[in-house]
Amino acid sequence: MIFARALAAALVAACALAAAAASAQTYPDRPVTMIVAFPPGGADDATARILQDAMQKALGQPIVIENIGGAGGMIAAARAARADPDGYTILLHQDALAAGMTLYPNLTFDAEKDFVPIGLVNTTTNTLAGRPTLPPNNFADLLRWMKAPGQSVRIGHPGVGSFGHLAEVQIFQVLGVKTVQVPYRGAGPALVDLLSGEVDLGPISAVVAKPLVNSGKLKAYAIIGRSRFSGLPDLPTMSDLGYKDLNLDFWHMLLAPAGTPRRIIDKLNSALRAALADPKVRQTYADGGMDEYPADEETPEAAAILLKREIKLWGDVIRSNHIAAK
């Protein structure tokens, strides 16, 4: 009886493996759902919709976008983690996925264990920007101003746990500058108060900052990220200024549920690469201040390394500064 049960279980497992292999060979033969971890209208939704047409052409099947907002993108991630690992449900997420592993202690999934990365999509360039009446005109003068005795530096950011918030905390911690963090409900309200002088500094998208800097309505001191922005070519990165550990990129990544066959991951990665090589996609991302990754960094392995590194980075920042989701 025990032998019969073991044999039956082995046969079931073998059939399942055979079915999975056959499915991987014919994949995709129906539409693919791309879950986007934030509501329509934001950078994540825009990133997905720019990819959508080019990727579905490469796959030969439609890609249906499903926006699932809430809990800093964690609701969408939990939904995707529970999906069948057959390549028909994929997830577009960003830095918040890495930060969420520490920011939300009661999650039902683990980003490293429950997902397999498909590939990196892009980074979005951000600036360290200041109110127009701020006295310093360059980073060196800014640093001296911030460290002056009795100086109080007010930092506006898009919300607790956001990339802007965590990046600013990490930057000023490395710089040794004490700040007053002022949270807002999104980048828009934070920018309004920065322009009016209610706060001193804040992380602002380079595309948004460019016309404001050029018109004198905003000051910009550095790029938060590894690459300079062509729209503000004279603005140095934090690495250019000597802070090699402050290349903090806001990124987007495609992922699939753990257990998705490698053959399917490779097909999805190939479709992603084809989309990112499309001139229309490249230009649209560039116009939006989004930088593509070099081809050798678009692999599933490179994405997995980045995700692991960022989970540790933001986890350390969150724990050491006692940051809690609100």
Residues 150, 85 share a domain = no
The count of other CB atoms within 10 Å of the CB of residue 186 is 11
Q: What is the pLDDT along the chain (326 residues), one digit of tens a residue?
A: 554 555 555 555 455 454 555 567 899 999 999 999 999 988 899 999 999 999 999 999 999 999 999 999 999 999 999 999 999 999 999 999 999 999 999 999 999 999 999 999 999 989 999 999 999 999 999 999 999 999 999 999 999 999 999 999 999 999 999 999 999 998 999 999 999 999 999 999 999 999 999 999 999 999 998 889 989 999 999 999 999 989 899 999 999 999 999 999 999 999 999 999 999 999 998 888 888 777 778 899 999 999 999 999 999 999 999 999 87
Q: Which residue has the tokens 């986890």?
A: 315
Q: Which domain holds residue 92?
A: 29-123+249-320
* CATH code for position 283: 3.40.190.150
What integer pLDDT is reported at residue 215 of this predicted model?
97
Pair 5, 36: CB distance under 8 Å: no
| 216 residue type, one letter | G
Is 8 within a domain?
Answer: no
Task: Give the integer Cα–Cα distance in Å for 100 and 176.
Answer: 26
Domain end, chosen from 208, 224, 240, is at 224
* CATH code for position 217: 3.40.190.10
Domains held by the chain: number: 2
| 8 residue type, one letter | A
Pair 91, 35: CB distance under 8 Å: yes
Pair 155, 180: CB distance under 8 Å: yes
Alpha carbon 318 to its chain's center: 17
Is 210 within a domain?
Answer: yes
Residues 211, 274 share a domain = no
Is 45 within a domain?
Answer: yes
Give me 172's structure tokens. Answer: 């000023």
- Which residues are CB-neighbours of 251 under 8 A, at least 6 positions away? 94, 95, 120, 121, 122, 123, 124, 306
Residues 134, 219 share a domain = yes
Residues 48, 105 share a domain = yes
Is 153 within a domain?
Answer: yes
Give me 287's structure tokens. Answer: 């116009």
Residues 295, 268 share a domain = yes
Helices (H), the chain: 2-26, 43-59, 74-81, 95-103, 139-146, 163-175, 187-196, 206-214, 262-277, 279-287, 300-320
Residues 86, 37 share a domain = yes
Question: Which SS3 state, helix, strand or coil, does residue 124 take?
Answer: strand
